[in-house]
């Protein structure tokens, strides 16, 4: 019987082993499935993490974008007309004329009648001591509007009105100043040709 039992035991054991193997394999299958689902979850979680990191980066970028950038300073020529003339053009003219050894008695911007023509416009009137007077006129409150210039000797009225910077597409502070000086120089009022 022992022999019978032994084979039976073996069979039983085999059956038990088979059942154990089956159980193991089923549990392995279950474990494998669990691991696969966990790895899938982990991969999903890992996918979520980078996305959340990307979202965090996007949030950081958004935060960076919401921080107001310092505004670029407008070019001088784009500033309001009166600011351009009073803060930049008139002081620039004074500086350039003084560098040539001349003195300005009076210089101002007024909305008045243009010399000779008599129409109302913005006029820079400048009186250079013992040298000349000039009137730079702007048709509108805009540096790119039509401009004219009139010149005269001291204590005289202007007799000619000339167009000023009519062919220039881009009007700049330096250009206006240099052309005024060029006109004054052309009349031999502030230097030698």
Q: Is the pLDDT of residue 110 over 90?
A: yes
Same domain, yes or no: 58 and 101: no
88 and 12 within one domain: no
Total domain count, the chain:
2
| 192 belongs to a structural domain | no
Residues 49 and 95 in one domain: no
Residue 191 forms part of a structural domain: no
Tell which of 69, 100, 117 closes a domain: 69
Domain coverage including residue 25: 1-69
Same domain, 4 and 53: yes
Domain check: are 65 and 154 in the same one?
no
Question: 52 and 87 share a domain?
Answer: no
pLDDT of residue 185: 87
Q: For residue 126, with 0-12 CB atoms within 10 Å meaning exposed, 13-18 middle and 19 or more buried, which class applies? A: buried
Residue 171 CB contacts under 8 Å (≥ 6 apart), including other chains: 77, 143, 144, 165
Q: What is the pLDDT of residues 38-82, one digit of tens each?
A: 555 555 554 444 454 555 555 555 555 677 777 777 788 889 999
- Better-predicted residue by pLDDT, 128 or 25: 128
**Residue 6 shares a structural domain with residue 100:** no
Domain for residue 153, yes or no? Answer: yes
> Both ends of the chain: CA-CA distance in Å?
140
Starting at the earlier edge strand, list the strands of the sheet with 132-138: 104-113, 120-128, 132-138, 147-152, 161-164
The answer on pLDDT for 167 being more than 80 is yes
Task: Count the residues in the chain.
Answer: 193
- Cα 92 versus chain centre, distance: 26
Domain boundary among 69, 95, 115: 69
94 and 178 part of one domain: yes
Which tens digits make up the pLDDT trace of 119-163? 899 999 999 998 889 999 999 999 999 999 999 988 888 888 999
Q: Do the domain assignments include residue 100?
A: yes
Mean pLDDT of the chain: 76
Whether residue 170 lies inside any domain: the answer is: yes
Q: How confident is the model at residue 1 (pLDDT cuts 50, 70, 90)?
A: very low
CA distance 121 to 41: 78
Same domain? For 116 and 62 the reply is no
Name the domain boundary from 19, 45, 69. 69
Q: Are residues 152 and 179 in the same domain?
A: yes
Return the pLDDT at 36: 59
Task: Judge if 92 and 174 occupy the same domain.
Answer: yes
> Same domain for 142 and 80?
yes
| All residues at 6 or more sequence positions from 109 whose CB lies less than 8 Å from its CB, including other chains | 82, 85, 86, 90, 122, 123, 124
């Amino acid at each position: 019987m022992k022999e019978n039992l032994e084979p039976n035991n073996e069979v039983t054991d085999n059956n038990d082993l088979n059942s154990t193997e089956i159980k193991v394999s089923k549990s392995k299958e279950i474990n494998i499935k669990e691991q696969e689902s966990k790895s899938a979850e982990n991969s999903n979680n890992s996918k979520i993490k980078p996305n959340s990191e990307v979202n965090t980066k996007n949030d950081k970028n958004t935060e960076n974008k919401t921080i107001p950038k310092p505004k670029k300073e407008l070019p001088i020529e784009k500033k309001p007309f009166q600011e351009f003339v009073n803060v930049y053009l008139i002081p620039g003219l004074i500086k350039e004329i003084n560098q040539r050894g001349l003195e300005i008695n009076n210089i101002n911007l007024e909305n008045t009648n243009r010399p000779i023509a008599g129409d109302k416009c913005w006029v820079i009137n400048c009186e250079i001591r013992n040298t000349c007077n000039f009137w730079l006129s702007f048709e509108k409150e805009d540096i790119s509007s039509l401009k004219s210039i009139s010149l005269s000797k001291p204590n005289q009225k202007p007799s000619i009105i000339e167009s000023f910077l009519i062919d220039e597409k881009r009007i700049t502070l330096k250009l206006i100043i240099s052309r005024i000086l060029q006109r004054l120089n052309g009349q031999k009022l502030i230097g030698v040709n």
